[in-house]
Amino acid sequence: MPEPGKPRADTGPSGDGSADTPLEGVDLLLADLDGVIYTGAHALPFAVESINRAQATMRVGYITNNASRTAASVAQHLTELGLRVRPDDVVTSPQAAIALLAGMVPPGSTVLVVGGEGLTSVVEAHGFRVTRSALDAPAAVVQGFHPSVAWTDLAEAAFALRVTDAGPGIPWIATNTDWTLPQERGTAPGNGTLVSAVHTAVGRLPVVAGKPERAIFDAAIERFGATRPLFLGDRLDTDILGARRAGIASVLVLTGIDGPKQVLAAPADSRPDFLLGDLRELFEPYTPPAETMDAEGRLVRAGTASVRVRDNTVRIVDAGESEIEALRAGTAAVWGAGVPIHALDIDPALYS
């Protein structure tokens, strides 16, 4: 396994030039849910079969920023899709938020909760008293997503978080700040949009428990006792950035939010170690991109595909046997160009 963000040498364990799979040496496979395992109520193609295959040889856990459901309900949903999941296999952003809350307010404090059962059940299970009203003088505000969250809930949070002459205000913890939430009908506003509304009203920012912050990753590593985890995500700005911050190797699978355009433009702190079209490729040899220099410029190869960088142009030379190989070569070419992406003339076939 490479260190996060560092390329792996193009040799297998025997040094014979054969490529390992992304799962080589992994003792814990951590997976995001929306956009990786399912969209809405339905499993994504090849996801369930691939995760079950991995679970035959290693521990599998799940990390979700979605605070609207309990770990038990998430486990039940995944089980109904055909996975073998217990509630303890699921790490939620409310669980990470409670770990932060416990260090900020006394045990048994009253906490104003914006969110649903996925959040309130965790708050209550740790001995805190839940309120929905700022009139109850809460010691903190914890905010998470639920489809039922209304203007009145956001207003109560804003009232509780007001800054007064007596001090800077009570602690505010957001389970996550995902701007969007994938749904069967399309992309819907996520908790980040709702947090932003409160932020605009009160002029302050929350402490964040979920991805891309490392609290949720730290909770998962502690729970599962892993030494060489690999994280599967579909978003650069939460999944991959969060894994990088936590020092965990990462996979971006192109079945969710981010696609080729976003990958090509990914900033250095949000670049995955592996790029997959779907989860079947976890078990296929993964040849990392390699580049050579010649009179015509840089030539970047990934598997059977190759991409040429000459001056400010990036062009496919050989599309290879699959689109994902060409994209792997293209991302390496763009990332290694040493100039901002807007300064490059990129072959449209890489992202269209």
Q: pLDDT by residue (tens digit) across 135-169? A: 999 999 999 999 999 999 999 999 999 977 667 78
Give the CA angle between residues 145, 151, 152 to the nearest 5°: 105
Band (pLDDT 50/70/90 cuts) for residue 178 is confident
Mean of the pLDDT values across residues 318-345?
96
Q: Which CATH class is domain 94-208?
A: alpha beta
Band (pLDDT 50/70/90 cuts) for residue 352 is confident
Nearest alpha-carbon partner for 251 in 11, 35, 48: 35
Catalytic position from the list 16, 27, 32, 237: 32
What whole-number distance in Å separates Cα of residue 212 and Cα of residue 126? 24
CA dihedral 76→77→78→81, nearest 10 degrees, is 120
Mean of the pLDDT values across residues 161-188?
85
pLDDT of residue 170: 96
pLDDT of residue 40: 80
User: How many Cα atoms are found within 13 Å in the side-chain-facing hemisphere of 238?
Assistant: 31
pLDDT of 267 > 50? The answer is yes
Whole-number Cα distances in Å, 154 to 3, 104, 160, 327: 41, 22, 10, 42
pLDDT of residue 53: 98
pLDDT of residue 4: 52
Give residue-wise pLDDT tens across range 34-66: 899 998 889 999 999 999 999 999 999 999 998
What whole-number distance in Å separates Cα of residue 278 and Cα of residue 48? 11
Question: In 10 A of CB 62, how many CB atoms?
Answer: 24
Burial string for 169-197 (b: 16+ CB within 10 Å, else e) reads ebbbbbbbbbbbbbeeeeeeebbbebbeb
- The residue whose two tokens read 């936590």 is 246
Assign domain 28-65+212-283 to its CATH architecture. Answer: 3-Layer(aba) Sandwich (3.40)
Radius of gyration of the chain (CA): 22
Answer for the pair 232, 32: CB distance below 8 angstroms, yes or no: yes
Answer for the pair 182, 141: CB distance below 8 angstroms, yes or no: no
Give residue-wise pLDDT tens across range 28-39: 999 999 899 998
Band (pLDDT 50/70/90 cuts) for residue 7 is very low
Mean of the pLDDT values across residues 210-225?
94
Beta pairing, strands 172-174 & 140-143: parallel
What whole-number distance in Å separates Cα of residue 124 and Cα of residue 119? 9
% of the chain beyond a pLDDT of 90: 85
Coil vs helix vs strand at 90 = strand
Catalytic residue flag (residue 34): yes
Domains 28-65+212-283 and 94-208 share a fold: yes
pLDDT of residue 181: 79
What whole-number distance in Å separates Cα of residue 217 and Cα of residue 230? 11
- DSSP state letter for 172: E
Catalytic residue flag (residue 10): no
**Any idea which of 31-45, 176-190, 251-265 has the lowest mean pLDDT?**
176-190
For the chain, give every domain's residue range: 28-65+212-283, 94-208, 290-350
Burial of 297 (C-beta count, 10 Å sphere; 0-12/13-18/19+): middle
Give residue-wise pLDDT tens across range 289-315: 999 998 898 999 999 999 999 999 999
Catalytic position from the list 34, 153, 258, 347: 34
Q: Alpha helix (H) ranges present in 265-322?
A: none
How is 98-156 classified by DSSP, letter by letter?
A: HHHHHTTS-TT-EEEEES-HHHHHHHHHTTPEEES-GGG--SEEEE---TT--HHHHHH
Band (pLDDT 50/70/90 cuts) for residue 109 is very high
Mean of the pLDDT values across residues 70-94?
96
Coil vs helix vs strand at 222 = helix
Mean model confidence pLDDT for the chain: 92
pLDDT of 16 > 50? The answer is no
